[in-house]
Amino acid sequence: MNKNERMSSEDYIRSKLLGYGVSLDLATRAQDKGLNLQTIRSLKVQDLVSNYGFTHEEVKEIRVCIKRRAIPQETIELLLRRSNYLCCLCKGDKGRSYIIHHIVPYAETQDNSYDNLIVLCPNDHDLAHGAGLTMKITAVNLRKTKLTWEVEVQEANARRAAQLIEVNEHTVDFINIRRMEQLSLQVLGEIPETRYTRSLQDAKILNNRRSFDQKYVRDNYSGRNYLFDYITHYEAEHYKEILEKVATRVQFVDLQEESKGGFSRLKKTEGKIAFFIGGVTSKSVLMPIAESASAVTATYRRKDLLIEWLIDPNYLMSCSAILRLGRKYRFIIYFRVMSVESTNNGGSYVRGSPLLMAQPSCYVDKTPAIKYAMSPESEDDWWPV
């Protein structure tokens, strides 16, 4: 089934009109009245006014727009998602309707590329086409505002996803089970029951206190290459759900955001539960991983900030997770901030005790929003920070 078949015919018409630069309100009205592009093109202006309730100005707007080459659907979706379906100038203060606006007029360039498009409300769209374009809303200002707003949207979405523990269970690489259980007891007063507790207890992976029985697992399940070297019983899902329950009681600290305030602001995070999203490097480990294996240091480093986490290799959840160590990889890490110290160069050194490490579902992507070809190998070598 293709994209057009998955979308209802009515929604498809509205989406097509948006792609021609018709405003959301006007496209929605056309959709609700059962119009399609062929009908709009074939009917006389007076018929559209008399029979469908449009004004002459609205018919003129639609007719002018649909003479253009349509913006690709993928570009529309990316624009709207990155702007949170809001005007990049007023952020929705002037209304929730929007228009996809050409920064440099379409008539001059016929340029439907992502870089030449911005989401505006009808009010700011009028300003961009009027005196405001020469007085204050220049193409440079529009592009700068668009970039700033898209970063703000991504940061807010990433924080929301992090607080909700929106990570795919299949991307969880590491869970420090003992520390997770200790945190649960501290915050919730118990190790709570999850959707997986009963089956894990039936398999004797959890004991009657709902605590992980590492000795039983190692003796009866593990293939001995590493602790979780067996077909697991939803252990990652279980502990992710526990962390979700903790998150309903604890507001996690966004360490990347706090680091913008320098050492004094970071110092106040000591003892708190935090999350960090970014490119993390670590040393590799060799299999088999013995129970007595030494911890591996994972590191995030930039000029003014160094974060280190000690990863117990026993709690790496899969062979793939083990193989990812030794390379730079984008992770979200949930952890307790153990200490924050100042460095000789005026930066901050943070030591964290990790709870869970996974690949984030949402993060700030600083890659230019253009089409490009990137092989899986090269993709692993690039990380936004």
Q: Which helix (H) or strand (E) holds 300?
A: strand 296-302
SS3 81: helix
Other residues' Cβ atoms within 10 Å of the Cβ of residue 329: 19
Report which of 35, 32, 56 is spatially closest to residue 45, judged by C-alpha positions: 56
Question: What is the C-alpha to C-alpha distance for residues 227 and 206, in angstroms, rounded to an integer?
Answer: 15
CA 285 to mean position of chain CA atoms: 29
Rg (Cα) of the chain, in Å, rounded? 26
Question: What is the C-alpha to C-alpha distance for residues 311 and 316, in angstroms, rounded to an integer?
Answer: 8
Q: Where are the domains of the chain?
A: 1-70, 85-163, 164-385
pLDDT, residue 137, reads 79
pLDDT, residue 61, reads 86
Question: Is residue 99 within 8 Å of residue 121, measured between CB atoms?
Answer: yes
Mean pLDDT by 10 residues, the chain (385 residues): 46 86 91 88 90 90 89 93 94 91 90 95 86 64 93 92 90 96 97 97 97 97 95 96 97 95 96 96 92 95 96 96 92 97 94 97 67 36 32
pLDDT, residue 5, reads 45
Q: Which of the 8 DSSP states describes residue 293?
A: P
Distances (CA, A) of 2 to 5, 6, 8, 11, 265: 5, 6, 12, 15, 50
The two structure tokens encoding residue 151: 């970063």
Distance between terminal CA atoms of the chain? 38
Question: Is residue 353 within 8 Å of residue 309, measured between CB atoms?
Answer: yes
